[in-house]
Structure 1
């Protein structure tokens, strides 16, 4: 065997080895990247990149299920570099692999594809895969029958065929991600060692990427969520100038630095880097910093407008939230519970055994069953402990919702039922009125909330059934909710409904065109839980003090229910 043949045999053996372990070119530094200044050097993955590569490789080696990864990311951690590096290594060395890169626009796609072309161009010539075609749109490998193609999400029609590696860049910024990905993802076989990596910085809430990440976080889809907070990146740290006094603040232009320091064990150098970026790169916009350099998934996905509630406190609430003792439903007038997580009725505390007057109240927001309708949402509040003990959430017909509320009221010692009537000042007929009317007709003995009003004809004070949400009462709801959240770190009342916490995180205050203040969920999100819980806080204050039935009601007035009992 001559030297040339020996060289070819060696090449084939090395390439065969890499085909079985495509991480080799990455580990050995055979792939070259370029700095912002134009300098070329071997790519040595940083910690975040290596963690992503290890995740993909572990799933590749397991060869059990398709590899589907969502990456909500801080800026400049090199996620695109890592994704394209893996894409190039796989399609150029592993036989019969077809890769597709989809940028959010033409420039984004070209920038990332230039990285791929550099990987190929700078690869060790002895091992570089031979190509059949190389141009601005694709690299076609003749030796492996593989290829890498680029595309832009700005194109109206995008279709793929036989894709085995897909990298979607800045997916949250796709003009129409549902339509774009709906045409591409089904073309990728649902078999082991097919790879989809979708990465993006945050771009608000209610979009396809945010909802997919949230579903992955809850374990509701087959995607793996790969999130790395900014503070895990070693380069996001700056030495303090001599004499600089960095005392973490609990509020102000940099947010709650004490919370970040204690929760994530941040060093003064990391806090100083954070301050510098907020001041210099984000023009003092704390919310923009959190979106670009998130510490949590909630910070990555933020809506436009100003948050009504402190996300730091809501995160603490979520961390301490407990699963319900039981879940279930109400059927044929009976409460049916189980210990699994199925069912639209959640119970965190069972009714106390002693017979009480005025201990519990139920606040009910009304929705509907038509397409796009809000959810029906109700909470049972224990006025003695201040805790939420049960909840209903779902789409129900009015007659069903009435039955559920009535049965729940009877179970919790004839709890008062406050049903929202979400109508204009004229109080014209609406779904909330339907629920109230049905309740009064079907269950005249129901303990329903009555509000005081001035009759239009007699001009005398009278009462009407239901909680009327208007501009004045909504202000009161928001004020009570804010007070509850702000006082939670001290009172630490059990607050276990993660769905409610999630809604609170996307509840914002904005200014209307006429300059009026408005409180609503960000576009694409719901606030049914927020409203029903807030109504409960307002109504609970108007009720008589709770007392055991064997006792006489207290005549002394106090705002503290527990004090009144004692």
Structure 2
């Protein structure tokens, strides 16, 4: 429903009555520029469709905050009783926003229609005669989890959200937002800053029915050009686009209807070369041509940033995995329930690719048990992958806390039951923590020795164990079952996975796994550790266990020299479907049929 109090033409005529301190022009009227008008048009269009929550991903100096602050003020004037909150990422910016709003108000003519008198103006708030108010806050407060607590908010403007560090505070603030007020408006805007809270919010907004993404690419900023008569244009424009630039230009034209000009490309190349020293990752983060280019893995992760960026793009290619949860019994694996998580709120298993069978189909599962590699973590992870001659593709991921070893064993057996190919599914278990007991429970089932199990249960669970051989061993024989990630063997396993990821042999489907990969760094002492105690590595180590098992036990014995490449299976699948395959189109209930049928016996 259209908000009668929000009129585009009235707002745009309201803006020039406000004065700003422009970086290049000094004190000047706020005459909305192209990027600013685009944002306002998107917000007004969304409001007309019943959308009240907007997440704005912007490039540097797109002037989004400036126009949004003006819109905050306009909103308070036009809607009596608005309780608004403007949230900055630091006290200095909070004070700056307060001064901008105060100057906006003082600039307005006294006879301005619907202008409201100021009843109070201090460091924490400004109050108006129509009982509307704007409060100011810092998202990164010393006391965590208190942002917005006790406030009932119908207007929210959060700025530089990518630099907010208090996730609990964000959730507290969201709980304070109005749910039914027809005059509610929530704006979260930011440049990108790696993979963090804002990236998650951007992703959610792209899938939500009650939110809208607004992307402000660098090409929308009208000042980002090198004029043709400048030396910069002559130096950096050569009448040709690189393959990457061609892709960006085509995507921008297709998605946004904008043709990037030669003058704009010259500016992009000039800025990349002379201001960012050819640091493409930082340039893409600060001036993204497309939203998916903005969220760069920066810093110095063990697995290099560009590889992680590519993997994250694959992991988020636009489909939702099927989700399940396990209901464990205490008497037998056959009593374990595996149910579809219809709402997706609680789940411990994500399916990215359905189980298939046939020639050349081989699966491997890596398992990091509770208190395994990270002995302080009670998270158990099973990472399921399919091997090809040239690729290793993640097809499923299980993660749950507080499981007993026998429950972890049952998860592995049930996953192996579903994902069984030409040969028995290979399992590689971290032997630290409860890993040894997990392995022994599996062997008891295989040997029909499990207490409380029916006879001949092993026929239903085609499982093989990973056999470890020292990398520097002269002998071709194996010395142990499964893996123990201590000392140099931990480094060997992680280096194997790093190689697979950076060479794009590994195809990661779990965004959480990519984030865990980004958290692993080499310390000054030379150790490989997560960047913080809160950054998990359980999924990473489970995936690395699967990767080393693929390298050592599957590829050389079953796949080397065969025609079972990743592309051959993709081509075959596309031929069967009659079109290019998409995961949501061929994911079926095979997993449910195979496992649940067994569970009912």
Aligned to 1:463: 479
Aligned to 1:242: 234
Q: Does 2:311 align with 1:314?
A: yes
Residues 292 and 300, structure 1, Cα contact 8 Å, conserved in 2: no
Aligned to 2:552: 542
Matches within 5 A, 1:364-375: 364-368=366-370, 373-375=378-380
Q: In structure 1, the residue corresponding to 2:560 is in which secondary structure?
A: coil
d(CA) in 2 for partners of 1:225, 1:499: 22
Closer/same/farther in 2, CA of residues 542 and 176 from structure 1, 3 Å limit: closer
d(CA) in 1 for partners of 2:563, 2:94: 63
CA deviations over 1:342-387 (Å, ceiling 9, x no partner): 56252624432x5x6x841322232439996445132141446856
Residues 164 and 188, structure 1, Cα contact 8 Å, conserved in 2: yes
Aligned to 2:593: none
Aligned to 2:297: 302
d(CA) in 1 for partners of 2:317, 2:559: 30
d(CA) in 1 for partners of 2:559, 2:79: 75
Aligned to 2:581: none
d(CA) in 2 for partners of 1:278, 1:258: 17
Q: In structure 2, the residue corresponding to 1:378 is in which secondary structure?
A: strand
CA deviations over 1:313-369 (Å, ceiling 9, x no partner): 436635767666x665677548968797856252624432x5x6x841322232439
Which residue, out of 464, 474, 480, partners 2:494?
474
Residues 217 and 287, structure 2, Cα contact 8 Å, conserved in 1: yes
Matches within 5 A, 1:215-364: 215-217=204-206, 219=208, 223-239=211-227, 241-242=233-234, 244=236, 246=238, 257=245, 260-261=248-249, 263-264=251-252, 267-294=261-288, 295-297=290-292, 299-300=294-295, 302-306=297-301, 308=304, 309-310=306-307, 313-314=310-311, 317-318=314-315, 328=324, 333=334, 344-346=349-351, 348-352=353-357, 359-364=361-366
**Structure 1 residue 472 displacement after superposition:** 1.7
Residues 69 and 224, structure 1, Cα contact 8 Å, conserved in 2: yes
Residues 395 and 509, structure 2, Cα contact 8 Å, conserved in 1: no
What stretches of structure 2 of length at least 5 have no aligned partner? 254-259, 328-332, 448-457, 569-601
Q: Does 2:401 align with 1:407?
A: no
d(CA) in 2 for partners of 1:269, 1:524: 46
CA deviations over 1:512-532 (Å, ceiling 9, x no partner): 213x37486887555555544
**Structure 1 residue 263 displacement after superposition:** 4.7
CA deviations over 1:278-335 (Å, ceiling 9, x no partner): 34433543333233223435633534324525356436635767666x6656775489
Which residue, out of 425, 435, 439, partners 1:436?
439
**Structure 1 residue 154 displacement after superposition:** 5.8
CA deviations over 1:104-123 (Å, ceiling 9, x no partner): 23321222223222322222
Closer/same/farther in 2, CA of residues 199 and 301 from structure 1, 3 Å limit: farther
Q: Does 2:29 align with 1:46?
A: no
Q: Does 2:427 align with 1:418?
A: yes
Q: In structure 2, the residue corresponding to 1:236 is in which secondary structure?
A: coil
Residues 513 and 540, structure 2, Cα contact 8 Å, conserved in 1: no
d(CA) in 2 for partners of 1:329, 1:140: 50
CA deviations over 1:476-496 (Å, ceiling 9, x no partner): 2211232235xx9xxxxxx5x
Q: Does 2:469 align with 1:452?
A: yes
Q: In structure 1, the residue corresponding to 2:366 is in which secondary structure?
A: strand
Structure showing greater radius of gyration is: 1
Q: In structure 2, the residue corresponding to 1:227 is in which secondary structure?
A: strand
CA deviations over 1:158-216 (Å, ceiling 9, x no partner): 6554432222222333464533x45544444322322222223334434x444433444
Aligned to 1:425: none
**Structure 1 residue 80 displacement after superposition:** 1.1
Q: TM-score, normalised by structure 2?
A: 0.70
Closer/same/farther in 2, CA of residues 236 and 310 from structure 1, 3 Å limit: farther
CA deviations over 1:254-282 (Å, ceiling 9, x no partner): xx556545554655443432233234433
Aligned to 1:561: 562
Residues 35 and 222, structure 2, Cα contact 8 Å, conserved in 1: no
Residues 161 and 187, structure 1, Cα contact 8 Å, conserved in 2: yes
Residues 451 and 466, structure 1, Cα contact 8 Å, conserved in 2: yes
Closer/same/farther in 2, CA of residues 367 and 48 from structure 1, 3 Å limit: farther
Two-structure CA RMSD over aligned residues (Å): 4.3
Closer/same/farther in 2, CA of residues 374 and 329 from structure 1, 3 Å limit: closer
Aligned to 1:381: 386
Residues 418 and 467, structure 1, Cα contact 8 Å, conserved in 2: no
Residues 506 and 521, structure 1, Cα contact 8 Å, conserved in 2: no
Aligned length: 506
What stretches of structure 1 of length at least 5 have no aligned partner? 1-17, 251-255, 423-428, 489-494, 547-553
Closer/same/farther in 2, CA of residues 484 and 188 from structure 1, 3 Å limit: closer
**Structure 1 residue 37 displacement after superposition:** 4.6
Aligned to 1:189: 178
Closer/same/farther in 2, CA of residues 511 and 527 from structure 1, 3 Å limit: closer
